Amino acid sequence: MESSNPDYHTFILKGNRKVSILLIHGFLSFPGEMKRLAIKLNENGFTCLSVQLPGHFPPDNVNMRLYTFEDWVKEIEVSYNKLIECSSAVIVCGASMGGNLAIQLASQYNVCGLITICTPLSPNFSRFPFTLLLNPIIFFLSKLKIEIRRSVRSHLPCVPEEFRSLADTTSYHVPISIFSEVIKIIQRSSSNIRSIKCPLIVIQAKSDELVPARLAKEIVNNALSEEKELVYLDKSGHAALFDYQHELIEEKILQFAIKLDKKISL
């Protein structure tokens, strides 16, 4: 039975600017993660589409084992094509693993801008005892799941109450096979970042529990973009869109979008 809560599902907010924005949530998250950002952008005239990745939240989450990273890529390609039909250009923005998917899309399509938020290029194994490294992929992604679920429903200062209840009431049956799919898209984006030429903003929390802050420099240094910026957040963790500096993130992205929209309009 499909959930009636709109924050679980793909949503679009229509604007009147020439540039539109595709928003991609992270692993085990949901389109509502990007809602506050989407509203901010839409209030300033931008059409925003926040896509639901297959296998994330009801009813798909009970069948997550049926999906691969290629299904996630296909879904964002469909969303991109919907936006390009009603606008002159598209900016793609992704949080955490959504940033890896954004890099993949930007390497294959002519997007006018790319934004990543706390996006990994490689797993961080340093948090685990040596004896657990017999299967590092599983342990890394188990950590990822625990941290995101716990952060969203507990101590973060800027989580809307309805999102806390979503995290509290949602049960995931995460198959081992899906872990390798996350690793595949991280590896794919680590290679494809070298083909990125569009304007780029990389946003990274210095206190990220999952993604070492140094990896943000890898994204910036490997991209071929002439126009690129690295923004560090000194009061935020991995779930930065729900943390103290979410307004800074929203304003940075808004100004980036306005700048690109002006270029397109010339």
Residue 195 is classified by DSSP as G
What CATH number does the domain containing 38 carry?
3.40.50.1820
- Residues 201 and 231: beta-carbon distance below 8 Å: yes
Return the beta strands (E) in 111-256 as ranges. 113-117, 200-205, 228-233
**Considering just the CA atoms, what is the radius of gyration of the chain in Å?**
17
User: Among all chains, which residue has been given the structure tokens 């206190």?
Assistant: 207
Distance CA 34, CA 96 (A): 12
User: Apex CA 92: angle with CA 91 and CA 95, to 5°?
Assistant: 140
116 falls within a domain:
yes
* Per-residue pLDDT, 55: 81
Q: Which two structure tokens, joined as six digits, stand for 16?
A: 């009147």
- Residues 75 and 93: beta-carbon distance below 8 Å: no
Distance CA 207, CA 213 (A): 8
67 falls within a domain:
yes
* Per-residue pLDDT, 245: 94
Angstrom distances, CA of residue 52 to CA of 88, 226, 232: 23, 31, 27
Residue 144: phi and psi, rounded to 5, are -60, -50
Which stretches of the chain score pLDDT less than 50? 1-4, 123-135, 137-139, 142-154, 168-170
Return the beta strands (E) in the chain as ranges. 11-13, 19-24, 47-51, 89-95, 113-117, 200-205, 228-233
- Residues 173 and 64: beta-carbon distance below 8 Å: yes
* Per-residue pLDDT, 260: 98
229 falls within a domain:
yes
Which residue range forms the structural domain that includes residue 120?
A: 6-265
Residue 246: phi and psi, rounded to 5, are -60, -35
* Per-residue pLDDT, 151: 44
1 falls within a domain:
no
How many domains does the structure of the chain reveal?
A: 1
**DSSP H helix total and E strand total for the chain:** 8, 7
226 falls within a domain:
yes
248 falls within a domain:
yes
The reported pTM is: 0.84
198 falls within a domain:
yes
Residue 202: phi and psi, rounded to 5, are -115, 120
